[in-house]
Amino acid sequence: MDAIEISRTGLDVEWQRLEVIAQNLANLNTSRTASGEPYRAARLLSGPKMRFSKLVGRGESPAKPQGVAVLGLAHPAPGVRKVHEPGHPDADAQGFVTYPDIDHAAEMTLLIRTSRAYEANLTAISFAQQMYSRALELGKQS
Amino acid sequence: MDSIAPLLIAKALDGLHARYRATAENIANANTPSYRPLNVTFEARLEAAARQGAEAVANVIPQLELAPARGLGSEMRLDLEIATASQTAMRYAALVDILGRGMAISRAVVRGGN
Amino acid sequence: MNGAEAIAAVSGVEGPLALRVGAPTTQIVSPRSAGFGEILMAGLRGVDQKIATADKLVEQFAVNDSVPVHQVTIALEEARLAVELAMQVRSRLVEGYRELMNMPL
C-alpha cells in the first residue's frame, strides 16, 4: 500500500501549508507579536522525501518514491512594510508602523491551490483503494 | 504444508485489529481537549520474528502506545486518523481474503478432484 | 511433507499406471526419459513450485505492506488452478485404472 502512504504524506504536507496560510491571513495586521517584532509572512517549503545523499549524488533517476515532506518554513524578503500612522501605539520615532508584507490576494490564490492539492490526494487514495479491492477479486467466482 | 504463512497472517490480523480499535478510539475523541492519540506497533517486530521462525512469531504481541503529549495549540489530525482507519481496514480484509485462498488450495488437495 | 508428496499420497499414484497393468510376471521397466511417469512427476513438481512461490509471497505480504497485493492473489490463484488440475488428472487416472481392472480378460 505504498501508493496510499505517498498520498498520505501529501495530505499531511498540504494540511500544514493550509495552517501556515491561515496564520498569515490571521496576522495581516499584526504590527507587534509577543516578541515585540512584527509578524513576518511565512511560506511552507515542501518536496520529495528522499535521502539527502541521493539529492547531492550523481543526478541519476531517483530511488523508490517515498512521498513528500515539509522541508521548512521560508520568510520571503522583505517580509515587512512600513505605513505612516503617527497615532498608532506601535509607531516608531518617525511615525511609521511596521506591518507584515502579506498580499491577501496571493494568500487566497495559494489557499485555493493548496485545497485542490489536498483534494487530489484524497482522490488518489480512493483510487488506490479501488485498485486494491480489484486485485482481491481475482479468481473469485460469483 | 508446514509454512509459517498462516501464523504470520494471524499475527498480522491481531495487530491490525488492535490498531483499528485504537484508531476508532482516537476518532471518537475528536473533540477531547488535550487528547493523546493511541497507536499500535507490531510490524517491525513481526518482520524480525519471521526471519527467526515459528516460535519467535508466536511470541509477537501488538503493542499499544500513547503518542507524546503535544504542545499548546496542536490538534489531533482527524483526517489522518480516518486515513489510518481506511488503510487498516483494507489490509485486514486483504489478509483475511488471502488466508481464505490458502485454505482453498488445501481443500482442493483434500477433495482430491471429487 | 511438500505439496507434491501430499498429492501423491492422497491419490495413491505410485508410478506409471499404464505400464503396471498386465500379468505380474512380465514387469515392464519404464523408459527413463519422456516416460509417462516422468511427465507426471514433472507436473507434480511444477505444482509444488507454484505452491512454494505463492507461500513465499504470502509470507512477504503478511509482514510487509509494500508487496503489491495483486502479485499475491495471482500467485495464489495459479497455485490453486495447478492443484485442481493435478487433482483432475489424478481422478482420470484412477478412473482409467478401474475401468481397465474391470475389463473381463
pLDDT digits 0-9 by tens, C30-56: 445 568 888 888 888 999 999 999 999
Among the residues of A1-142, which ranges form H helices? 2-26, 52-55, 104-136
Could you state, in order of their start, the residue ranges of all structural domains in chain C? 3-102
**Strand-strand pairing, B63-66 and A80-84:** unpaired
Of the candidates C65, C68, C73, which has its C-beta nearest A139's C-beta? C73
Pull the grid cell for residue B63.
Answer: 503493542
Of the two residues C41 and B71, the one the predictor is more confident about is: C41
Of the two residues B45 and B77, the one the predictor is more confident about is: B45
Quick: pLDDT tens for A24-39: 999 999 888 888 888 9
Closest alpha carbon within chain C to A3:
C66
Q: What percent of chain B has pLDDT over 90?
A: 53
Phi-psi region of B53 (alpha: psi -120 to 50; beta: other; left: phi over 0): left
Q: Say what the pLDDT of residue A55 is.
A: 55
**Burial label, B2 (beta-carbon count in 10 A; 0-12, 13-18, 19+):** exposed
Q: Indicate if the pLDDT at residue B22 is higher than 60.
A: yes
Q: Is A133 on the interface with B (CB under 8 A)?
A: yes
Chains that touch A (3 or more CB pairs under 8 A): B, C
- Residues in chain A with CB shorter than 8 Å from the CB of C78 are none
Residue identified by cell 488452478 is: C81
What pLDDT band is residue A141 in, cutting at 50, 70 and 90? confident
Q: Say what the pLDDT of residue C1 is.
A: 46
Q: Which among B40, B58, B62, B41 has a CA at the least distance from the CA of B50?
A: B58
Q: Hey, which residues 19-78 in chain A have their CB within 8 Å of chain C?
A: none
Angle at C67 (CA atoms; ends C65, C68), nearest 5 degrees: 110
Q: Give the HSE-up count for residue A67: Cα atoms under 13 Å, Cβ half-sphere.
A: 19
Q: How far is CA B46 from CA B88, B90, B98, C15, C67, in A?
A: 16, 19, 18, 43, 15
Pull the grid cell for residue C39.
Answer: 511427465
What is the ipTM metric for this complex? Answer: 0.85
CA torsion angle for B2, B6, B8, B10 (degrees, to 10)?
A: -150
Distance linking the first and last C-alpha atoms of chain A: 26
Q: Say what the pLDDT of residue C19 is.
A: 41
Pull the grid cell for residue B68.
Answer: 507524546
Rounded to whole angstroms, how far apart are CA atoms C51 and C38? 20
Pull the grid cell for residue A13.
Answer: 504536507
Q: What is the torsional sign of CA B15, B17, B20, B22?
A: negative
Are C70 and A1 in contact (CB < 8 Å)? no
Q: Is A2 on the interface with C (CB under 8 A)?
A: yes
Q: Indicate if the pLDDT at residue B72 is higher than 60.
A: no
Q: Say what the pLDDT of residue C2 is.
A: 55
- Residues in chain B with CB shorter than 8 Å from the CB of C11 are 112-113
Chains that touch C (3 or more CB pairs under 8 A): A, B
Q: Indicate if the pLDDT at residue C21 is higher than 70.
A: no
- Residues in chain A with CB shorter than 8 Å from the CB of C50 are none
Rounded to whole angstroms, how far apart are CA atoms C70 and A138? 8
Residue identified by cell 516460535 is: B55
Give how many domains chain B has, as a whole number. Answer: 1
Quote the radius of gyration of chain A (alpha carbons, Å): 22
Q: What percent of chain C has pLDDT over 90?
A: 42
Domain that holds residue B91: 5-111
Q: Nearest CA to CA, how far is A140 from chain C (Å)?
A: 9
Task: Give the pTM.
Answer: 0.75
Task: Give the residues across from A99 on adjacent strands.
Answer: A81
